Amino acid sequence: MAAPEDLIGVGKKSLYAKREPVYPQKIDGRFRRLKWLVMAVTLTIYYLTPWLRWDRGPYAPDQAVLIDLAGRRFYMFGIEIWPHEFYYVTGLLVMAGIGLFLVTSVAGRAWCGYACPQTVWTDVYQHVERWIDGDRNAQIRLAKAPWGPAKIAKRVTKHAVFIAIALATGGAWIFYFADAPTLFRDFVTGQAAFVAYGTVGVLAATTYILGGFMREQVCIYMCPWPRIQSAMLDEKSLIVTYKQWRGEPRARGTKKAATLEDLGLGVGDCIDCNQCVAVCPTGIDIRNGPQVGCITCALCIDACDKVMTRIGRPRGLIDYATLDDCAVEAAGGTPKPLWKTVLRPRTIIYFAVWASIGLAMLFALGGRTRIDISAQQDRNPIYVRLSDGEIRNSYTVKVRNMEARPRKVEIGLDGLAGAKAWSIDGSRETAARTAKLDVPADSVAKLKLFVAAPGTGAAKEDFSFKVRSLDEEAETASTESRFERPEAGQ
């Protein structure tokens, strides 16, 4: 048994590893240009969408995309979603999830590498850092340099730009929830609600911290998506892969590789230049195989292809490839063409499900009516016996007008033979099978209706309230209800 003094320090090993700063090197190539394009498109959509206008008439907001919490509406160009239609939002979320499954099964973590908000804003911050501090080597030298006027000036400038980007990010978000020009004017003049300033503060802080400091740690430690994606990848999924059978054994430098070849010694194409590591935004070495830190941005492919071209070797030492194709290529075979890799049963099923949900939602949107009705029976009292023996029930009827204009509607009874209705403003003498109601634009109107029917009949009899718009559309809707009488003998 070990002596007590031998156990001193056992268990004291820290479970926390200090973050190693990552300084990605600037690179140009097809995948870097693709990242530029995706970043420009996504940021343009995010920052400019709240300022787009869409004419919905004089009774509705003219902001193209608006989440109107006060009015309980969601507007997206020509589509208006009411609270009772929230299943459309659910459908969009389901489509987004299945879309991620589809992308992952085809190209691994392509979402993480190109379109994830954490990736996009981290990319923006890294470009700002490179613009102010210089490229990779200059950043490393600056980090090691003692504090002085030049270093302080660069740090202050950099973080001032970081904070400005963070405030713009939080500020753009709140414009989705109110009229953007009005809210902007109120915000800068100090007249906006406290929740607006609080929201901007929280989102600016998270953007600044996650994009400015934590960066790759969010992808590696905080985000659950890499762990989920690993369960969706298989041997037929395209991933960024280092072709070890071609690159090994490595020879450090081109001159050494040429010398070894002259001596007749085997040498791989990898010259161990570490360019693939230098450009990686998460600081991993792709040559160590698939790992959770790889976000499939493919910048290492751009760096490696550049080196291979310079030393006269075939490109593609690091490439998008499936594990199956890698095994075939290592054995001297020819990998499958790209279209066969993409069009396989799994991806076709994902796409079919995704497209079916989208088509179903479009069909439902195109076929929905812009008027709705609901009725609730008043329970206190359930019924009243009138002097002539008839029984009266009372109902609160709600008519929803989903058009951006006022509409006149007619509410009628469907079923319940011999019954007549009148509103709380009318009288039994004016009772009829129908009643008219004016419904304001984009709102719900209530009407208290009394319904009287013969006293003889079933204790509980089902019928419907039916509404019809008195305009050229003549839209109709109905809702089931129940008329109650006293039991026989009562």
pLDDT tens for 98-136 read 998 898 888 888 899 999 999 999 999 999 999 999 999
d(CA 200, CA 196): 6
* 88 φψ region: left (φ > 0), alpha (ψ -120 to 50), beta (else): alpha
User: Given pLDDT bands bounded at 50, 70 and 90, which one contains residue 1?
Assistant: very low
Highest mean pLDDT pick, 124-133, 283-292, 455-464: 124-133
Decide: helix, strand or coil at residue 290: coil
Q: What percent of the chain has pLDDT over 90?
A: 58
Residue type, 349: I
d(CA 377, CA 413): 14
pLDDT at 443 exceeding the cut of 60:
yes
Enter the pTM of the model. 0.82
Average of per-residue pLDDT across 161-172: 95
pLDDT at 279 exceeding the cut of 90:
yes
Question: Tokens 């949900």 identify what position?
Answer: 357
Nearest in space to 174 (alpha carbons), one of 73, 278, 67, 277: 67
Q: Which two tokens stand for residue 452?
A: 């009287």
pLDDT at 160 exceeding the cut of 80:
yes
93-107, 227-241, 315-329, 357-371: range with lowest mean pLDDT: 227-241
Beta-strand pair 371-377/420-423:
unpaired
pLDDT at 406 exceeding the cut of 80:
yes
User: Given pLDDT bands bounded at 50, 70 and 90, which one contains residue 337?
Assistant: confident
Average of per-residue pLDDT across 344-369: 90
CA 297 from centre of chain: 19
- pLDDT score recorded for residue 253: 65
pLDDT at 271 exceeding the cut of 50:
yes
99-113, 144-158, 182-196: range with lowest mean pLDDT: 99-113
Helices (H), 194-314: 194-209, 216-217, 225-230, 244-247, 254-262, 275-278, 299-311
Residue 158, number of CB atoms within 10 A of its CB: 17
Question: Tokens 């787009």 identify what position?
Answer: 52
User: Given pLDDT bands bounded at 50, 70 and 90, which one contains residue 348?
Assistant: very high
User: Given pLDDT bands bounded at 50, 70 and 90, which one contains residue 140?
Assistant: very high
Supply the Cα-derived Rg of the chain in whole angstroms: 34
pLDDT at 261 exceeding the cut of 60:
no
Q: Which two tokens stand for residue 195?
A: 């929740």
User: Given pLDDT bands bounded at 50, 70 and 90, which one contains residue 235?
Assistant: confident
- pLDDT score recorded for residue 339: 84
Torsion of CA 260, 262, 267, 268, to 10 degrees: 120
d(CA 13, CA 109): 34
Decide: helix, strand or coil at residue 454: coil
Q: Where are the beta strands (DSSP E) in 355-442?
A: 371-377, 384-385, 391-401, 407-414, 420-423, 434-439
Within 8 A by CB and 6+ apart from 187, the residues are 171, 174, 196, 197, 200
- pLDDT score recorded for residue 263: 46
Q: Is 417 exposed, middle or buried (0-12, 13-18, 19+ CB in 10 A)?
A: exposed
d(CA 304, CA 297): 13
Within 8 A by CB and 6+ apart from 481, the residues are 375, 377, 395, 462, 463, 464, 465
Q: Which two tokens stand for residue 50?
A: 């709240």
CA angle (454 as vertex; 449, 459 as ends), nearest 5: 90
254-268, 271-285, 344-358: range with lowest mean pLDDT: 254-268
pLDDT at 14 exceeding the cut of 80:
no
Average of per-residue pLDDT across 217-224: 88
Residue 49 has phi, psi (to 5 degrees) of -55, -45
Q: What percent of the chain has pLDDT over 70?
A: 93
Question: Tokens 């009138």 identify what position?
Answer: 386
Average pLDDT taken over every residue of the chain: 88
d(CA 490, CA 487): 6
Average of per-residue pLDDT across 43-48: 95
User: Is the peptide bond prior to 24 cis by the omega test (within 30 degrees of 0)?
Assistant: no
Helices (H), 86-224: 87-107, 110, 117-133, 136-144, 149-174, 180-188, 194-209, 216-217
Residue 51, number of CB atoms within 10 A of its CB: 14
More confident residue, 269 or 7: 269
Nearest in space to 284 (alpha carbons), one of 217, 374, 199, 371: 217
- pLDDT score recorded for residue 180: 93
Residue type, 99: G
Beta-strand pair 443-453/407-414:
unpaired
- pLDDT score recorded for residue 465: 95
CB-side exposure of 424: number of CA atoms within 13 Å? 7
* 389 φψ region: left (φ > 0), alpha (ψ -120 to 50), beta (else): left
- pLDDT score recorded for residue 233: 82
User: Given pLDDT bands bounded at 50, 70 and 90, which one contains residue 16?
Assistant: low
More confident residue, 14 or 333: 333
